Amino acid sequence: MRKRIFYLDVVRSIALTMVIAIHYNLNMTIHNLDTAARIPFITQLNGHGAIVQSLFVILSGAALMLVYGKREKSIHLGEYAKKRILSIYPLFWVTYIILFVFMTVYKGHTPFRGIHTWRYIYTVTAFDGWLLPIQQTPYMIGEWFLGFIIILYCLFPLLLAIYRRSPAGMMIFAFLVACIPALYEPARLGMSLYTSPMARLFEFAFGMLFIMHYEDGVSAKQGVVAAVLLALLYNVPNGPWNFPLNVVMGILWFSVISWVSRYLEKSAVIRNFFFWTSLYSYGAFLFHHYFLQFYLPRYGIAPQTLGGFFLYGMVLIIAIYGVGYLLTKLTGVLVKQILHMKPSRSRERLAEEG
């Protein structure tokens, strides 16, 4: 039986909770509901770009490598594709359909009436969010990340093949590929460097390398060094180096969490907490952004104290995870009934993050 790596659960839970907190803070500000105070520290904690993005990308590579890295046989592409499809699409489709029906009832008509029907192929394949900057799509959930991570999943077998010949060769290859969009400027196509799978390939490859050499996390000495470097990098001013700085900070955060998790794991309560939040994080991820954008401008309250602001955010985060749990369970039942399969945990969340 494959060993469960606790710090991967911790990274997944922390990263997703930070994503929700960032979007909560952003939407409260946009809709003038943050009357208690502006809360800049959440954005500052996220670094000069998007540290949580980096954590998810590294996590994705690590989680896949945990499954396939130590197998002697070459990866079976058909089985690999099947597992990725089952881990991503059923929950995505179920969540999208539920929200689509809800918005149809709420508005009295179907959403996206001006969009050609053929464009729903972008949604069926979960690329609607990723392509939104350059294509009109019926996007509702999943943001840009799903299409982005699917592309990285497709590149994983290639990276794995290179790794088995030379781990250093894999990292050099990933670095060179990551340099291409930095020079080409995806912005010319309306895309962001941060959402370019090529630009983030080095982080993905790092996650693969990390899990093979630090399955139990970094040592205390390495963790302390990473934490000190991280603290220093938070003082670096904004500049054209923001993107590579974000990559380095994501790597350092991942290393620090792998170290600290060794001590957290000693508590059964903490272990179970992170296991649960990790298990249902994908459902929460799919639901959270649309919920915050819909709920806060219509029914949101404006806390009058800083404590109230945080308490309100915590209540919404708990509610979002609760809905993520229900969506995951519902999808599991449907998968079992339609495909006559027993839903595995790998289908209850994205393999990476999920």
pLDDT computed for residue 166 by the predictor: 96
pLDDT computed for residue 340 by the predictor: 67
What are 112-154's pLDDT values in tens digits?
988 999 999 999 999 999 999 888 999 999 889 999 999 999 9
pLDDT computed for residue 104 by the predictor: 95
Cβ distance 211 to 21 under 8 Å? no
Count helices and strands in the chain by DSSP H and E runs: 15, 0
User: To which residue do tokens 């229900």 refer?
Assistant: 326
pLDDT computed for residue 42 by the predictor: 59
| CA 34, 39, 40, 43 torsion-angle sign | negative
Tokens of 82: 């099947």
Nearest-angstrom CA–CA distance, 8 and 22:
21
Task: State how far the alpha carbon of 286 is from the alpha carbons of 5, 95, 207, in Å.
Answer: 24, 7, 23
What are 262-281's pLDDT values in tens digits?
999 999 999 999 999 999 99
Mean pLDDT by 10 residues, the chain (354 residues): 85 94 87 67 58 94 94 87 94 97 94 92 96 93 94 97 96 95 68 88 98 94 96 87 90 97 95 96 95 92 86 95 97 86 46 38
Q: Report CA 187 to chain centroid distance, whole Å.
A: 22
Q: What is the dihedral of CA 233, 236, 241, 246, to 10 degrees?
A: 40
Q: Give this prediction's pTM.
A: 0.91
DSSP states along 68-128: HTT-SSPP-HHHHHHHHHHHHHHHHHHHHHHHHHHHHHHHSS-S-TTS-GGGHHHHHTT-H
Question: 41 burial class (0-12, 13-18, 19+ CB within 10 angstroms)?
Answer: exposed
